[in-house]
Amino acid sequence: MRKMAGLALMIGAALAAGCNSTNDSNPPEPRAKNVIFFLGDGMGLNTLTAARIYGVGEEGDLTIDTLPETAFIKTYSHDAQVTDSAPSMAAYMTGVKSNNGVISMDSDATQEADCNQSAGKPVTTLLELAKADGRGTGIVTSTRVTHATPAATYAHICNRDLEADIAAQLVPGGAGYNGALKEGLDVVLGGGSSFFLPTADKGTRTDGRNLVSEMQAKGYQFASTLDELNQADASKPLLGLFGSSHMKYDLDRPASEPSLSQMTLAAIKQLQGKEKGYFLMVEGGRIDHALHDTNAKRALQDTIAFDDAIKAAILEVKKTDPELQNTLIVVTADHDHTLVLNGYAKRTGKTTASNPGVLGLVKNYTDGEPSKDADGMPYTIIGFGNGYNRVEGPRSSVAALDDATVSADDYHQEVVVSTGDIGNETHGGTDVFLGAIGQGADSFHGSLDNTAVFGKVKAAAKL
């Protein structure tokens, strides 16, 4: 009996130990330790479609097209049917609708020349939540790092145009610093050195501060060329500013300037060793600028460069996280533009040196002959609802278009409504695409408000 009692005690102890085991009975909940948020500025559905045809033809797939989870995103802001980049990106980053022109503040904030005259309070961003959780943080953009989209991740201000003040929010311990960033971002890559330098150093700052020097004094490495970027030490924070304003369009990029893919890989290198994971935002920002110029060729080429960066990131992350069990990658846009695809064009295939592709004239699918408008004149596959190049009077009063003209680098597509000078084409209010892959990606589906994306990323990352 004593032997049986002892055996029972041993079995009971073993069962108790098994019940208390965290290895078998209570496995940790899955979470996206790492988050990479890709934002194609202005990359509407029509632009995506045109970029696919431009880059790989009608039957091809961009990397964006292969993402397994998809949704449509509503983009209106608090005060406007058609948003600008500031409140749209802020909605993704904070879950709050704000007014046009406002960076990551609540809906009481209005865009004012002097923010002392504006109401409203800052709203916490995903990047700040990641920083509070001890994760690495970074931003990559082809625009100025102080531009609306990147600024919405780390700054709070009533007016997106106050970029000198936005830059100051990045400098640890300096006047105007955003203390929620604690010791500072781990990596900042893009353009816009003018807002970091005083006028005496060919910058635009009127306060005499040299923010590059201030950040270097806080331990940051500084890179201004691709070679310097490649030499960066992953153990130290990194600031890279490649140009005084926005970086070059991909079509015009010199060899000394890093591509969006190269900056993305450099940022991942800086962040992938972070024990608790990281949050990285990557913006293909100049898609938007080319669309404002109604210059479709540069817009489509920058969309391809953006897609290349997504592909590069997925391949790099899979080297250490093959099934993306610890990583969530989200790809979306902040708004669309007025780009349209016209007519009953025959299939063109991808654009090459000898084939204008989607940049060319509409040639009817029945006989391959150029389609004509009511004035008997040929017209392009791509056009815009508004913008710069509008023919006054009948189109027969100007020279007929040909493929060589309309597929040139500097061609500005024709528009329906003239909005004046180059650069004045407006955003559109149509829903945009979202694609996702990795841990937590299956929560993205259907039709979502942009504010809902914040909650889904936050939940997946357990922030």
- Please give the positions annotated as active site: 85
Residue 268 CA, distance from chain mean position: 15
DSSP state of 176: T
DSSP letters along 217-270, please?
HTT-EEE-SHHHHHT--TTS-EEEE-SSSSPPPGGG--TTSPPHHHHHHHHHHH
Residue 318 CA, distance from chain mean position: 21
Q: Which of these, 85, 26, 34, lies nearest to 283 by C-alpha position?
A: 85
Q: Could you give the angle at the alpha carbon of 280 between the alpha carbons of 66 and 125, nearest 5°?
A: 115
**CA–CA distance from 108 to each of 103, 105, 154, 166, 334 (Å)?**
12, 8, 19, 19, 21
DSSP state of 422: T
Q: What are phi and psi of 428, to 5 degrees?
A: -115, 170
Residue 50 and residue 351 in contact, taking contact as beta carbons nearer than 8 Å: no
Q: What is the CA radius of gyration of the chain?
A: 25
Residue 417 CA, distance from chain mean position: 28
**Which two structure tokens, joined as six digits, stand for 276?**
């608790």
Identity (one letter) of the amino acid at 349?
G
376 C-beta neighbours (distance < 10 Å), count: 10
Whole-angstrom distance, CA of residue 382 vs CA of residue 362: 9
- Residue indicated by tokens 């500097």: 410
How far apart are the two ends of the chain, measured CA to CA in Å? Answer: 55
Residue 82 and residue 96 in contact, taking contact as beta carbons nearer than 8 Å: no
Whole-angstrom distance, CA of residue 283 vs CA of residue 299: 14
Whole-angstrom distance, CA of residue 170 vs CA of residue 238: 12
